[in-house]
Structure 1
């Protein structure tokens, strides 16, 4: 990184995000507005790059933006106990487990429909019949 920081395009390339995503994160407060050059160009330092990395990793783990905002707020309070962070992670894990259970039920249902396919004509198709009017 040069002494003046990275421009928005360089930050996007360095972190594997898009310029529009960075602008969106700024508008929503996930990234603080960066300092600007005399010509009005954004300049991002190491802290902004690290924060963007945090947001990206949290998104990869499926955290919604509101929870990421809460985690960032907690991360900025370094002396606080981590119980609140743990609670957010546990809530997210429970949501992931519910989604996995829902997907497993969906998988069983689809597999059952496919298994009972008679390979006849469309008018006799059990899959289409199970999906409803047709």
Structure 2
């Protein structure tokens, strides 16, 4: 199948398919006499795998590791579990940081009068001269 068909079947854009090939995440596909890329069902399955891994927040280097483990039928599931557990811990850390950022912004917004006066603690905080930095709980 051509790249457009592989894209439709996998849910991965043609641009990203080309990118994955360029960076070595996907092998270069066979070419037809016309020069068009020629994908098979294994390629589509790999593209779906990559898309799902991206949806779960895995970076490219870890997706490469996961692909290698997926293809290795002699793998130890402990390796896969370790990658997934590490990614989950990283996502938890990022979620905590995002929550802290949200609380800080809510605190700043609550302390801004939001009227016609020029004083704004939000801008003062961004400047570094406004409110005392206190952890928001």
User: Is there any run of 5+ residues in structure 2 with no aligned partner, and where?
Assistant: 130-137
| Correspondence for 2:81 | 86
Question: Residue 12 of structure 2 contacts residue 48 of structure 2 at CA under 8 Å; is this kept in 1?
Answer: no
Query: How many residues align structurally?
Result: 129
**Change in 2 beyond 3 A, CA 1:119/1:41:** closer
> Among residues 95, 110, 116, which one is paired with 2:111 in the alignment?
116
Q: Structure 1 residue 102 and structure 2 residue 108: aligned?
A: no
- The answer to which of 21-30 and 44-53 deviates more is 21-30
Give me the CA root mean square deviation.
Answer: 1.6
Cα distance change of structure 1 residues 119 and 20 upon mapping to structure 2, 3 Å threshold: closer
Select the residue among 17, 22, 25 that pairs with 1:27: 22
TM-score, length of structure 2 as denominator length: 0.87
C-alpha contact (below 8 Å) 2:50/2:63 kept by paired residues: yes
Alignment check: 8 A CA contact 2:11 2:48 kept: no
Q: 1:17 aligned to 8, 12, 35, which one?
A: 12
Task: Give the C-alpha shift of residue 12 in structure 1.
Answer: 1.3
Note the residue ranges of structure 1 that are not aligned, 5 or more in a row.
1-5
Q: Is 2:57 aligned against 1:62?
A: yes
